[in-house]
Amino acid sequence: MFHLILFSVFGAICVAGAVNLLLQSHPINSALSLVVVMGSLAVEFLLLGAEFVAAIQVIVYAGAVMVLFVFVIMLLNAGVEERTSGSRVAWLLGIPAVLAGMVIVCWALLTHSNAGSAAIGALRGDPAAIAQLLFHQFLLPFEVTSILVLIAIMGAVVLAARSQTVERSKREG
Partner 1 sequence: MVPLSYYLVLSGILFACGVVGFLIKRNIITIFMSIELMLNGVNLSFVAFAARWQQLSGQVFVFFVMVVAAAEAAVGLAIIIALFRTRETLNIDQVNLLKL
Sites for partner 1 among residues 80-139 (CB under 8 A): 81-84, 86-87, 90-91, 94-95, 98-99, 101-102, 105-106, 109-110, 113, 115-120, 122-123, 125, 129-130, 133-134, 137-138
Measured from the CB atom, is 109 or 168 closer to partner 1?
A: 109
Rounded to whole angstroms, what are the CA distances from 81 to 18, 22, 77, 95? 18, 12, 12, 20
Within 10 angstroms of residue 71's Cβ, the number of other Cβ atoms is 10
Q: Work out which of 139, 143, 145, 168 binds partner 1, going by CB under 8 A.
A: 145
Taking the complex as a whole, the smallest distance from the CB of residue 39 to partner 1 amounts, in Å, to: 11
Within 10 angstroms of residue 36's Cβ, the number of other Cβ atoms is 17
Taking the complex as a whole, the smallest distance from the CB of residue 171 to partner 1 amounts, in Å, to: 14
Taking the complex as a whole, the smallest distance from the CB of residue 154 to partner 1 amounts, in Å, to: 10
Q: How far apart are CA 55 and CA 61, in angstroms?
A: 10
Q: Are 42 and 57 in contact (CB under 8 A)?
A: yes
Residues binding partner 1: number (CB under 8 A): 88
Taking the complex as a whole, the smallest distance from the CB of residue 36 to partner 1 amounts, in Å, to: 11
Q: Are 45 and 54 in contact (CB under 8 A)?
A: yes
Q: Work out which of 9, 139, 143, 160 binds partner 1, going by CB under 8 A.
A: 160
Q: SS3 for 57? A: helix
Taking the complex as a whole, the smallest distance from the CB of residue 75 to partner 1 amounts, in Å, to: 7
Q: Which of 28, 21, 34, 23 is nearest to 78 (CA)?
A: 28
The answer to whether residue 7 forms part of the interface with partner 1 (CB under 8 A) is: yes
Q: Report how far Cα 28 is from the mean position of its chain's Cα atoms.
A: 16
Q: Are 24 and 33 in contact (CB under 8 A)?
A: yes
Sites for partner 1 among residues 64-83 (CB under 8 A): 64-65, 68-69, 72-73, 75-76, 78, 81-83
